[in-house]
Amino acid sequence: MAVQYRASKYLEGIGDTGIGTDNHFGEVNLQEVQRVCNTMVSDICRVYGCDDPEKLVPEALIKNNVVKAQMAEWLFTAIDLLNHCCLPLMSSARKTIENLQEEKICDQGTVIELQKKLISKKDEELGLVSQTVQKELKTYSSALQQSCSTALSPKNIASAVKTITKEEDRTKEVVVFGVEEETDECVTTKVSSILEQLDEKPRITGCRRIGQCATGESKKRPIIFSVKSTDIVYQILRKSKRLKDIEGYKTVYISPNRTQEERISRQKLVNELKAKRLSDPSGRYFIRKGEIVKADN
């Protein structure tokens, strides 16, 4: 016997707007819509004696014992799902996609602006190098004017350029302390192994031990190596503190390649830092931007 027509039979629990109790894409809404669809399809299959919903083709649905009221209820439910659930979901999805596209365009604009700033920064750095060269040349030119006996020879110019180049090369160099020294060793391999602990794999353009060869059981001359850019040096120095927590590398220390004046100044700061920590054991002191700073508790 056919089920009596009731418009609310399948749609009980679906809100008046058809979007459920949360929102278009919410879990509750999905469960409610699935319940309605599963119940209605199950009833249709039962009435038509069909065990597979995919077999409900138009030819199979022509059955005289199915009353119009029953067919009307199924049709009403399908139309209601389309108008109040499927179409609103599609409309909401379209608006969401449009919003995401607008956000993507805004993000792309931000990326372009950042790229412009980066290019501007690089140009500024190149300008500083150019100013340094001009300053050195001007210094030698002034010396020539003040003393005719001292000529500005090509050798003096070459020396000035060499000084600038050496200073720039220094910014791309890193010094490693505390690495055991062995006969017939490959220092590049040792440095690469240390950098791998920091998740860094730069191309090392030069690597060597510095200082006089020492005798004895413990030889640990510093290793100086160079990379392609100052950005890579910054990344390595930023991560170098991790080594003190890694077994086998706790005595390894990494620092920039400082000038003699910078090393003296740094050592003075380190000594002051040690004194601060001894006089105030409860305080947390560290060096930041060439100054000793106490951390806030």
Q: What is the three-class DSSP state of 145? A: helix
Q: What is the three-class DSSP state of 175? A: strand
Residue whose tokens read 């000529």: 151
Q: Tell me, yes or no, if the pTM score tops 0.85.
A: no
pLDDT over threshold 70, residue 161: no
Distance CA 142, CA 136 (A): 10
1 pLDDT tier (thresholds 50, 70, 90): very low
| Residue 294 dihedral angles phi and psi, to the nearest 5° | -100, 130
Q: What is the pLDDT of residue 211?
A: 83
Q: Would you say the C-alpha torsion 169, 171, 177, 179 has a positive or negative sign?
A: negative
pLDDT over threshold 80, residue 9: no
Q: Which DSSP helix (H) or strand (E) runs through 155?
A: helix 154-170
290 pLDDT tier (thresholds 50, 70, 90): confident
Q: What is the mean pLDDT of residues 111-130?
A: 84
Return the exposure string of 67-96: e unless at least 16 CB atoms fall within 10 Å of the residue's CB, then b.
eeebbebbebbeebbeebbeeebeeeeeee
Distance CA 108, CA 8 (A): 49
The predicted-structure confidence for 190-242, as pLDDT tens digits, reads as follows 999 999 999 999 999 999 998 887 666 567 889 999 999 989 999 999 999 89
Q: What is the pLDDT of residue 48?
A: 82
Distance CA 50, CA 48 (A): 5
Q: What is the pLDDT of residue 54?
A: 85
Q: What is the mean pLDDT of residues 151-179?
A: 69
Give the residue, 105 or 21, on which the prediction is more confident: 105
Q: What is the pLDDT of residue 269?
A: 81
Q: Which long-range contacts (CB under 8 A, 24 or more apart) does 70-73 make?
A: 70/2, 70/3, 70/5, 72/5, 73/3, 73/5, 73/6, 73/7, 73/9, 73/10
Distance CA 237, CA 232 (A): 9
Pick the closest to residue 253 from 171, 180, 178 (CA basis): 178
Give the residue, 169 or 142, on which the prediction is more confident: 169
Q: What is the pLDDT of residue 57?
A: 83
pLDDT over threshold 60, residue 156: no
pLDDT above 90 covers what percent of the chain? 16
Q: What is the pLDDT of residue 227?
A: 92
Pick the closest to residue 221 from 261, 180, 185 (CA basis): 180
pLDDT over threshold 90, residue 16: no
Q: Tell me how many degrees the CA angle 180-265-231 measures, rounded to the nearest 5.
A: 65
Q: What is the pLDDT of residue 141?
A: 66
pLDDT over threshold 90, residue 95: no
pLDDT over threshold 80, residue 155: no
Q: What is the pLDDT of residue 158?
A: 57
Q: What is the pLDDT of residue 270?
A: 80
Residue 14 contacts residue 32 (beta carbons within 8 Å): yes
Q: What is the pLDDT of residue 24?
A: 55
Q: What is the mean pLDDT of residues 34-45?
A: 85
